Amino acid sequence: MDELIDIITPEGKPTGKTALKSEAHKNGWFHATVHIWLFTANKKILLQKRAFTKEVFPGLWDISVAGHIGAGESVLSAAKREVFEEIGLELKEKEFIKIGTTIQNISHKNGIQDNEFHHVFIVELKVPVEKLKMQAEEVAGLQLFDLTVLKNTKNLENVLLPRFHEYYVSVYDEIIKALS
């Protein structure tokens, strides 16, 4: 789905300009996204199988929930909205634990240029996966994996992408801290 987003500088500062997401991806303009990793008290991580119609990484297991921050939208509002849209879960702002911001620069074979600032959160999942409602356009499946999947990406096929191994390990470390 194309949406209006704020364009930021390579340093993450507002430019005052907005564009459609498709334009930002075509032109390589920097913009902001949210990554929300949902974990359970018994050391499981919820992964989302991306819809097979997605333009990048179709059908791969990925972050619990992720999405673009809309033009004029706050980071936390976007995080709450994306979780509700993609998996039907309503969360309160206080449930989100921000663990950092990462920058990603990826040129995809289909011409999409992802220059993104990811605002990364962890949230404890307190409802059974069966209660979640998948948004068909975005999500092909939801499954709980052992949390160690975040550290073992190099040994698994079609479960997360090995090139983001360091990022996944940092998320693992933050979840372990939150569970302590």
Each as own residue / partner, the long-range contacts of residues 140-144 (CB below 8 Å, 24 or more positions apart, any chain) are 140/49, 140/50, 140/51, 140/52, 140/59, 141/48, 141/49, 142/46, 142/47, 142/48, 142/49, 142/87, 143/46, 143/47, 143/49, 143/61, 144/40, 144/44, 144/45, 144/46, 144/47
Q: What tokens does 148 get? A: 């160690």
Number of structural domains (the chain) is 1
> What CATH number does residue 110 fall under?
3.90.79.10
From first to last of its 180 residues, the chain has per-residue pLDDT tens of: 789 999 999 999 999 999 999 999 999 999 999 999 999 999 999 999 999 988 888 888 899 999 999 999 999 999 999 999 999 999 999 999 999 999 998 888 888 889 999 999 999 999 999 999 999 999 999 999 999 999 886 655 556 776 788 899 999 999 999 999
Structural domain harbouring 81: 4-179
